[in-house]
């Protein structure tokens, strides 16, 4: 791709740097190892306590917690593994450094203890045993999987890691 710098001359740049300039800034801030994104929904009832606990845990991580975003959620989605619930969602970026996985485990535990759930689309750390508590319609999801793919040929790495079909990861 071609980009015209402020000096007026042309220079060639990689297409990803041209199309996604914000990604370069994020990589510079997060380092080469990247980040774990944790997106957690907490129910409206008790959200103030849950969010205080989650943010407190992130602050205690000292340098292991990056930017945070907080949004209000509406009602639940229609899917068996739908992430939204009436309440709030907190997104945290945890830089990949020594100790990051322990911080993630503590944050997941807080969410689980407060009736929250982790967004599976953004997950890199959720233990398989937490999924049934976070996603109460998991049994219905498994029944559909069994009906459409009884031999279990279509599975993602995420599905295997979280034992979404049942059994052990």
User: What's the CATH code of the domain at 156?
Assistant: 3.30.70.2520
Contact 110, 42 (CB under 8 A): no
In terms of residue numbers, what domain contains 13? Answer: 1-30
- Three-state SS for 25? helix
Count CB atoms within 10 A of the CB of residue 108: 22
* Average model confidence (pLDDT) across the chain: 86
Contact 118, 134 (CB under 8 A): yes
Between residues 97 and 70, the one the model is more confident about: 70
- Residue 26 sits in the same domain as residue 77: no
- Residue 102 sits in the same domain as residue 116: yes
**C-alpha–C-alpha distance, residues 131 and 118, integer Å:** 9
* Residue 31 scores a pLDDT above 70: no
For the segment 26-44, the average pLDDT, to the nearest whole number, is 77
Lowest model confidence (mean pLDDT) among 13-17, 30-34, 131-135: 30-34
Residue 166 lies inside a defined structural domain of this protein: no
Number of Cα atoms under 13 Å in the Cβ half of residue 41: 23
* Residue 143 scores a pLDDT above 70: yes
- Residue 63 sits in the same domain as residue 84: yes
pLDDT of amino acid 159: 94
Between residues 3 and 60, the one the model is more confident about: 60
Count CB atoms within 10 A of the CB of residue 152: 13
* Residue 28 scores a pLDDT above 70: no
In sequence order, the 6+-apart residues with CB closer than 8 A to the CB of 148 are none
Contact 118, 158 (CB under 8 A): no
- Residue 81 sits in the same domain as residue 110: yes
Residue 52 lies inside a defined structural domain of this protein: yes
pLDDT of amino acid 15: 75
Q: How many domains does the chain have?
A: 2
Q: For the segment 75-108, what is each residue's pLDDT rounded down to a tens digit?
A: 888 999 999 999 999 999 888 888 889 999 999 9
pLDDT of amino acid 58: 87
Number of Cα atoms under 13 Å in the Cβ half of residue 135: 27
Lowest model confidence (mean pLDDT) among 7-11, 23-27, 46-50, 146-150: 23-27
Residue 102 lies inside a defined structural domain of this protein: yes
- Three-state SS for 112? helix
- Residue 78 sits in the same domain as residue 10: no
Which residues, listed in sequence order, are joined to residue 87 by a DSSP beta bridge? Answer: 43, 73
- Residue 92 sits in the same domain as residue 15: no
- Residue 22 sits in the same domain as residue 97: no
pTM of the model: 0.77
- Residue 58 sits in the same domain as residue 114: yes
pLDDT of amino acid 46: 95
């Amino acid at each position: 791709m071609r980009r015209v710098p402020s000096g007026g001359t042309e220079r060639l740049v990689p297409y990803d740097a041209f199309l996604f300039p914000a990604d370069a800034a994020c990589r510079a801030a997060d380092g080469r190892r990247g980040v774990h994104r944790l997106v957690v929904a907490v129910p409206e009832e008790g959200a103030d306590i849950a969010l205080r606990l989650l943010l407190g845990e992130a602050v205690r991580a000292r340098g292991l917690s990056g930017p945070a975003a907080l949004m209000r959620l509406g009602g639940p989605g229609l899917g068996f593994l739908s992430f939204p619930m009436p309440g709030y969602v907190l997104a945290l970026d945890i830089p990949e450094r020594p100790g990051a996985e322990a911080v993630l485990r503590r944050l997941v535990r807080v969410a689980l203890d407060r009736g929250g759930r982790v967004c599976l689309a953004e997950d890199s750390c959720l233990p398989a045993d937490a999924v049934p508590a976070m996603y109460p319609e998991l049994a219905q999801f498994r029944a559909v999987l069994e009906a459409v793919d009884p031999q279990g040929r279509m599975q993602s790495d995420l599905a295997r890691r979280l034992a979404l079909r049942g059994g052990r990861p």
